[in-house]
Amino acid sequence: MHPAFSVLFLTTLIGAGQGLFLALFSVEAYAELGLVPAPGSDFFAIGSLLSLGLLGLGLFASFFHLGRPERAWRTATKWRTSWLSREVIVLPAFMGMVFLYGLAHWLQFNPPLGVLPGDNFVLLTVLLGILGTLLAFALFVSTAMIYAAVKFLQEWHSPLTVVNYTLLGAASGFTLATALAAWAETGLVPFLAGWAIILTLLGLVGRVTSLIRNARIQPKSTLQTAIGIKHPAIQQKSQGFMGGSFNTREFFHHRSPAFLRAVKWLFLISAFAIPTALLALAMVMTVDPTNVLIAAFVIQYLGLLAERWFFFAQANHPQNLYYQSVS
Amino acid sequence: MTQLALVIDLNVCVGCQACVTSCKEWNTSGEAGPLVDMNPYGADPTGTFFNRVQTFEVGEFPNTETVHFPKSCLHCEEPPCVPVCPTGASYKRKEDGIVLVDYDKCIGCKYCSWACPYGVREVDAQRRVMTKCTLCVDRIYDQDLPEWDRKPACVRACPTNARLYGDIHDPNSVVSQAIRENGGYQLMPEWGTKPANHYLPRRKTRITVREDELERADNPLKIDSQLPKPGRDEPSLDDVTSW
Ligand code: SF4
Ligand code: SF4
């Protein structure tokens, strides 16, 4: 497939935004249980704002993918059958929840909404956080299912797609949260960096598994089934036109296999190896690790952009069987 | 239920591209048009077409055969392109099974084209919406046209009659008969899309003649041929025997 930059930015930016929110709420939940020191409410408010910024940028990028962005509202109508429609509904809902969560923290408006047995209060921010977490996961699933649900793209048509979108988004979000925690001097760096490393390594396992799976894929369709002629030697002599067409642009990356291999190694190093090393370094650093952690996030984000590029480029659409030879 | 469709006979298609130009002409001037042509005389021309005729070579020289292969939307009975559309712009008509795009609803997200394995949907670069074969829905029901002309433009244009049109759910239609009697098949059946359009394979007319049919089986020693040919006036075997 042709990797469109609008979609690369959309999926990586909102992934990081969702991951950041999950990291914020993890901190809040752990702090409620007294497992980590509670940071000030500014930490949550700024974090939510950052998450909202990433989500908004992603949403903005997505409009460049549409031919008719002015009609985008119509996309919310077919949620019964279309994962794309579901994503379009869940994304604003999640953004709204992040906004409310950040607002409640910023205003320090946190009334207990009820009492659970054992004298535990149900706090407003916790309730918003739980709802936000559910929406964050719903968004990961709907975004990934847009790709995983297309059975013709065998490289995508796998539960691994959903797993990887979730893990990679969460990993980059936790890395960003670690940088934020270091900058805000909350003492949460070891906690968040630890989770960021775990998520990054899990993401590596998931991604490598899908690389192995994809390397072994047997294409379901062949030139024989495409034109329905049973003969081992069939060649296309003409695709029916000399110039380009939508079908020759949208479904192929127009790069060499060597370039693809280079991007694969690039993302394996920059999305996984370097960030893990930098996060581990930050955990043991005695001086302020903020800059190291910001570098870790930027490198990981660029790596994930490369990962997404590769994700698209590697997918081979059966329609390409019909467009192999110009004249 | 009706399912209108085309049946394309690869045995007679000569790859003349008449259906391509006729389709383009009809649809670019129709109410839903125009279909863009960009840089038509420039270095990198590109344009929207609903129908393309491709050419394949089957076999290895010298035993090759050239197959011209017209391809347009197959109006699948289980169209995977329809449920993925987030706006409902892509739909399949209940009454006649034609798969259409509502150009006023489409946002040009291209998702449906990913969900079609046949590569027949094309985004119009100028109108920025998804376009595809409509089976000339604006022709086949037009009461102003004479009855015999209410057929898709490509069908009317084909000089070799390689394109048949009709209802494949009616067992007596010309398309159903052609599919049944001439080995009609579907493209990429492995995906379960159930294309409504069918293709008729290349066919060769051959008579199978067995060795013993060339030689008289009851004359293994070729004794007949050793006998002198009877003269023209002499009675033949038929004249003297009566069995
Ligand atoms: S051929 Fe493609 S566009 Fe046409 S109905 Fe089938 S899947 Fe949809
Ligand atoms: S490009 Fe148009 S018809 Fe296709 S899925 Fe998007 S909105 Fe629907």
Q: How many CB atoms lie within 10 A of CB B79?
A: 23
| From B117, B119, B129, residue closest to A68, measured CB to CB | B129
Q: How many CB atoms lie within 10 A of CB B206?
A: 6
Mean pLDDT check: name the lowest of A101-115, A160-174, A193-207.
A101-115
User: Which is the CATH superfamily of the domain at A5-219+239-323?
Assistant: Formate dehydrogenase/DMSO reductase domain (1.20.1630.10)
| From A146, A233, A241, residue closest to B60, measured CB to CB | A233
d(CA A217, CA B59): 26
Q: Which residues' Cβ are closer than 6 Å to ligand 1?
A: B 73-76, 79-81, 99, 116, 118, 120-121, 132, 193
d(CA B79, ligand 1 centre) in Å:
6
> Residue B131's beta-bridge partner residues?
B122
Closest CA to A305 of A7, A12, A73: A12
pLDDT at B242 over 70: no
d(CA A46, CA A211): 37
Q: What pTM was estimated for this model as a whole?
A: 0.91
Query: B130-131 and A112-116: which strand pairing?
Result: unpaired
Band (pLDDT 50/70/90 cuts) for residue A326 is confident
For position A114, what pLDDT does the model report?
Answer: 78
**What is the mean predicted confidence (pLDDT) over A299-320?**
97
Task: Give the distance from residue A207's alpha carbon to the nearest chain B alpha carbon, in angstroms.
Answer: 23
Mean residue pLDDT across chain B:
91
List, as own/partner pairs, every contact residues A146-149 make where C-beta atoms lie below 8 angstroms and the sequence separation is at least 24, other chains included.
A146/A83, A146/A84, A146/A87, A146/B111, A147/A311, A149/A83, A149/B84
State whether residue B151 is helix, strand or coil: coil
> What is the residue extent of each domain of chain B?
13-200
pLDDT at A327 over 80: no
| From A1, A68, A227, residue closest to B67, measured CB to CB | A227
Band (pLDDT 50/70/90 cuts) for residue B225 is low
Which residues of B fall within a CB distance of 8 Å from A65? 109-110
For position B132, what pLDDT does the model report?
Answer: 96
Mean residue pLDDT across chain A:
95
**What is the mean predicted confidence (pLDDT) over A253-257?**
94
Closest CA to A300 of A146, A170, A139: A170
Q: Say yes or no: A68 contacts chain B, CB-CB below 8 A.
A: yes
For position B236, what pLDDT does the model report?
Answer: 66
Which residues of B fall within a CB distance of 8 Å from A227? 56, 67, 69, 187, 199
Pick the residue from chain B with its C-alpha nearest to A63: B109
ipTM of the complex in this document = 0.92
Measured in whole angstroms, the distance separating CA B166 from the mean position of its chain's CA atoms is: 12
**What is the mean predicted confidence (pLDDT) over A156-166?**
98
**What is the mean predicted confidence (pLDDT) over B12-38?**
92
For position A115, what pLDDT does the model report?
Answer: 78
What are the C-alpha distances in Å from A61 to residues A11, A65, A161, A265, A267? 9, 7, 21, 26, 21
d(CA A326, CA B75): 26
User: What is the tens place of the pLDDT at every residue in A41-63?
Assistant: 999 999 999 999 999 999 999 99
Band (pLDDT 50/70/90 cuts) for residue B4 is very high
**In a mutagenesis test of the B interface, which of A7, A66, A229 is the best target, namely the one with the most B β-carbons within 10 Å?**
A229
For position B139, what pLDDT does the model report?
Answer: 94
Which residue owns the Cα nearest ligand 2 atom 2?
B106
Q: Provide φ and ψ at A232, rounded to 5°.
A: -70, -25
pLDDT at B232 over 80: no
Q: Say yes or no: A232 contacts chain B, CB-CB below 8 A.
A: no
Residue with the bigger pLDDT between B115 and B209: it is B115
For position A121, what pLDDT does the model report?
Answer: 78
For position B224, what pLDDT does the model report?
Answer: 61
For position B47, what pLDDT does the model report?
Answer: 93
pLDDT at B13 over 90: yes
Buried b (16+ CB within 10 A) or exposed e, A47-57: bbebbbebbeb
User: What is the tens place of the pLDDT at every residue in A256-267?
Assistant: 999 999 999 999
* Ligand 1 atom with the shortest distance to the CA of B90: 8
* DSSP E strand boundaries for B157-217: 163-167, 198-200
The response to whether residue B107 sits with its C-beta less than 6 Å from ligand 2 reads yes
For chain B, what percent of residues have pLDDT higher than 70? 88
Q: Cβ contacts of residue B91 below 8 Å, gap of 6+?
A: B82, B85, B99, B100, B102
Q: Say yes or no: A312 contacts chain B, CB-CB below 8 A.
A: no
Which residue owns the Cα nearest ligand 1 atom 6?
B76
Q: Cβ contacts of residue B239 below 8 Å, gap of 6+?
A: none
For position B218, what pLDDT does the model report?
Answer: 64
Pick the residue from chain A with its C-alpha nearest to B49: A245
**What is the mean predicted confidence (pLDDT) over B222-236?**
64
Which residue owns the Cα nearest ligand 1 atom 7?
B116
**What is the mean predicted confidence (pLDDT) over A225-251?**
94
Q: Which of these CATH numbers, 3.40.50.300, 3.20.20.80, 3.40.50.1820, 3.30.70.20, describes B13-200?
A: 3.30.70.20
**In a mutagenesis test of the B interface, which of A241, A321, A324 is the best target, namely the one with the most B β-carbons within 10 Å?**
A241
Structure tokens at A100: 């409310």
| From A66, A78, A239, residue closest to B54, measured CB to CB | A239
For position A24, what pLDDT does the model report?
Answer: 97
pLDDT at B230 over 70: no
Hey, which residues 79-118 in chain A have their CB within 8 Å of chain B? 81-85, 88
For position A155, what pLDDT does the model report?
Answer: 97
Pick the residue from chain A with its C-alpha nearest to B90: A78
d(CA A88, ligand 1 centre) in Å:
24
Buried b (16+ CB within 10 A) or exposed e, B50-66: bbbbbbbbbeeeeeeee
pLDDT at B243 over 60: no
Structure tokens at A187: 């003492």
List, as own/partner pairs, every contact residues A211-217 make where C-beta atoms lie below 8 angstroms and the sequence separation is at least 24, other chains included.
A211/A264, A213/A158, A213/A160, A214/A155, A214/A314, A217/A154, A217/A155
Q: What is the 3-state secondary structure (H, E, C) of chain A?
A: CCCCHHHHHHHHHHHHHHHHHHHHHHHHHHHHCCCCCCCCHHHHHHHHHHHHHHHHHHHHHHHCCCCCHHHHHHHHHHCCCCHHHHHHHHHHHHHHHHHHHHHHHHCCCCCEEEEECCCEEEEHHHHHHHHHHHHHHHHHHHHHHHHHCCCCCCCCCCHHHHHHHHHHHHHHHHHHHHHHHHHCCCCCHHHHHHHHHHHHHHHHHHHHHHHHHHHCCCCCCCHHHHHCCCCCCEEEEECCCCCECHHHHCCCCCCCHHHHHHHHHHHHHHHHHHHHHHHHHHHHCCCCCHHHHHHHHHHHHHHHHHHHHHHHHHCCCHHHHHCCCCC
For position B221, what pLDDT does the model report?
Answer: 65
Residues in chain B: 243
For position A270, what pLDDT does the model report?
Answer: 97
| From B56, B111, B187, residue closest to A84, measured CB to CB | B111
Band (pLDDT 50/70/90 cuts) for residue A242 is confident
d(CA B152, CA B143): 14
Q: Are A130 and A84 in contact (CB under 8 A)?
A: no
pLDDT at B46 over 80: yes
For position A112, what pLDDT does the model report?
Answer: 82
User: What is the tens place of the pLDDT at every residue in A176-215?
Assistant: 999 999 999 888 999 999 999 999 999 999 999 999 999 9
User: What is the tens place of the pLDDT at every residue in B138-172?
Assistant: 999 999 999 999 999 999 999 999 999 999 999 99
